[in-house]
Amino acid sequence: SSSQLKPPYQGRGSLTTRNMATVHRGGGASRTNQVSAAAASGGVEEDTLRPRFRLRDVSEWQCLAVFVAVNSVLFSWLIFTRDAGVTPPYLHLRQVMAGGVAAALAETAFYPIEVAKIRMQTSSQSKDERRGLWSTFNKMFKEEGARVLWGPGLLAGCLRALVYQGLRLGLFPPVRIALTKGMATLGGLVGVSIAQGGGGLSARILAGLVTGSVGAMLCNPLDLAKVLMTAERTRGQYSNSMHALACVAQQEGVRKGLWRASGVTVLRAALASAAQLTAYDYAKALLRGGAGSAAVHEATWVHLGASVAAAVAYTTASAPADLIKSRVMAQPCGPERLGPMGCAVQTVRSEGIGALWTGWAASTGRLLPVVLVVFPLMERLRLLLGVSAF
Tell me the pLDDT of the chain (390 aa) as tens digits.
Answer: 444 444 443 444 444 444 444 444 444 444 455 545 554 555 444 455 556 778 888 888 899 999 999 999 999 999 998 887 567 778 899 999 999 999 999 999 888 888 887 887 777 554 545 567 778 877 887 877 777 777 788 999 999 999 999 999 999 999 999 998 888 787 667 655 555 444 478 889 999 999 999 999 999 999 889 988 887 666 678 889 999 999 999 988 888 888 887 888 898 899 999 999 999 988 888 888 754 445 556 788 889 999 999 998 998 888 888 888 778 877 776 777 787 788 888 888 888 888 887 777 777 777 888 899 999 999 999 999 988 888
Instruction: Return the CA Rg of the chain.
Output: 26
In a domain, 2, yes or no: no
Domain count, the chain: 2
| Residues 44 and 166 grouped into a single domain | no
Domain that holds residue 295: 61-384
| Residues 286 and 189 grouped into a single domain | yes
| Residues 267 and 367 grouped into a single domain | yes
Asked if 230 and 215 count as a contact pair (C-beta separation under 8 A), the reply is no
Q: pLDDT value at position 310? A: 93
pTM of the model: 0.74
| Residues 178 and 313 grouped into a single domain | yes
Q: Which residues of 280-313 are buried (b: 16+ CB within 10 A; e: fewer)?
A: bbbbbbebbeeeeeeeeebeeebbebbbbbbbbb
Q: Which residues of 222-243 are buried (b: 16+ CB within 10 A; e: fewer)?
A: bbbbbbbbbbbebbeebbbbbb
Q: pLDDT value at position 6? A: 45
| Residues 22 and 91 grouped into a single domain | no
The SS3 assignment for 9 reads helix
| Residues 333 and 297 grouped into a single domain | yes
Q: pLDDT value at position 150? A: 79
Q: Hey, what long-range contacts does 88-91 have (CB within 8 A, 24 or more apart)?
A: 91/387
Is residue 200 left, alpha or beta, with left meaning phi > 0 and alpha meaning psi from -120 to 50? Answer: left
Q: Which residues of 203-216 are buried (b: 16+ CB within 10 A; e: fewer)?
A: bbbbbbbbbbbbbb
In a domain, 274, yes or no: yes
Q: Hey, what long-range contacts does 46-55 have (CB within 8 A, 24 or more apart)?
A: 49/15, 49/23, 55/239, 55/240, 55/242, 55/243, 55/246
In a domain, 363, yes or no: yes
Q: pLDDT value at position 354? A: 80
Total count of residues recorded for the chain: 390
| Residues 43 and 169 grouped into a single domain | no
The closest alpha carbon to 246, from 264, 225, 276, belongs to 225
Q: pLDDT value at position 134? A: 76
| Residues 181 and 84 grouped into a single domain | yes
- Helix/strand number for the chain, H first, E second: 15, 0
* Residues 374/380/383/389 CA torsion (nearest 10 deg): 60
Q: pLDDT value at position 70? A: 96
In a domain, 81, yes or no: yes
The closest alpha carbon to 23, from 37, 11, 12, 10, belongs to 37
Give the CB-side neighbour count of residue 168, counting CA atoms within 13 A. Answer: 34
| Residues 357 and 240 grouped into a single domain | yes
Show Cβ contacts of residue 274 under 8 Å, excluding neighbours closer than 6 positions.
204, 205, 206, 208, 209, 212, 317
Asked if 136 and 75 count as a contact pair (C-beta separation under 8 A), the reply is no
What are the distances in angstroms from CA 282 to CA 96, 278, 306? 21, 6, 8
| Residues 328 and 185 grouped into a single domain | yes
In a domain, 358, yes or no: yes
Asked if 221 and 258 count as a contact pair (C-beta separation under 8 A), the reply is yes
In a domain, 268, yes or no: yes
CATH number for the domain including 252? 1.50.40.10
Asked if 208 and 277 count as a contact pair (C-beta separation under 8 A), the reply is yes
In a domain, 222, yes or no: yes
| Residues 131 and 164 grouped into a single domain | yes
What are the distances in angstroms from CA 126 to CA 52, 106, 133, 244, 348? 48, 32, 16, 30, 11
In a domain, 54, yes or no: no
| Residues 36 and 74 grouped into a single domain | no
